[in-house]
Amino acid sequence: MAARSELDVITPRTLDEALDFLRREEKGTKIIAGGSDLIVQLRDGIIQPSKLLNILALKDLRFIKNSTGTIRIGALTTYTDIVHDEITRKHGWVLAQAAKQIGAVQLQNTATIGGNLGNASPAGDSLPPLYALDATVVIQNKFSKREIPIEQPYDQTN
């Protein structure tokens, strides 16, 4: 299969701008941040999106916080962030240990936990520790936010 030579890349400045774009343009758009899985899929012709929404600059999505006994991790948090963060090492050590085992350091520096979850790969490296920690995944669109326990299958029709 011939490689695609042109692809529209949209880089929003804010989360609200990104969500607004997805509301208008969702069909055929893929979200990219670290790109560790997506770039391979593009290169191999597995996916052929009409547009890429580059969310890497949305710093509001890169965080680790301890909020009333709950560890909150933003979608753009890298595995390096998780490995070196005091909160995850102390309260989510199983995730920190797993993050340390994911690929080479270069991959840990770019791969994000949101990308790993959103890619829905059966080999999702962060999934076993997140199951062990009874994690909840927060998904959001322009108008609402939902919290879904990780063990519950996601139904896009609701």
What domains can you pick out in the chain, each with its CATH number?
8-54 (3.30.43.10), 63-149 (3.30.465.10)
pTM: 0.86
Q: Residue written as tokens 């011939």?
A: 2
pLDDT at 1 over 50: no
Q: Burial level of 60, CB count in 10 A (0-12/13-18/19+)? A: exposed
Does 26 have pLDDT greater than 80? no
pLDDT in the model for residue 68: 85
Q: Which has the closest alpha carbon to 129: 94, 87, 89?
A: 94
Model confidence pLDDT, tens digit, residues 111-130: 999 988 887 766 678 889 99
Give the span between the Cα atoms of 13 and 112, in whole angstroms: 19
What DSSP letter does each residue of 35-95 carry, written as one string? Answer: -TTHHHHHHTTS---SEEEE-TT-GGG--EEEETTEEEE-TT-BHHHHHH-HHHHHH-HHH
| 62-93 confidence digits (pLDDT tens) | 999 998 889 999 999 999 999 999 999 999 99
The stretch 45-53 carries a mean pLDDT of: 90
Q: How confident is the model at residue 154 (pLDDT cuts 50, 70, 90)?
A: low
Cα separation values, 34 from 67, 82, 113, Å:
26, 15, 10
- Answer whether residue 2 shows pLDDT above 50: no
Residue 67 is predicted with a pLDDT of: 85
Predicted confidence at residue 40, as pLDDT, reads 86
Which residue carries 């829905």 as its tokens?
A: 120
Tokens 């009409």, located at residue: 50
Type and span of the H or E element at 17: helix 15-25
Tell me the C-alpha distance between 63 and 76, whole Å: 8
Lookup result for tokens 């999934």: 127
Nearest to 53 by CA among 118, 105, 122, 113: 118
User: In the prediction, which pLDDT does 123 show?
Assistant: 64
Residue identified by tokens 């509301």 is 23
The band of 3, judged by pLDDT with boundaries at 50, 70 and 90, is low
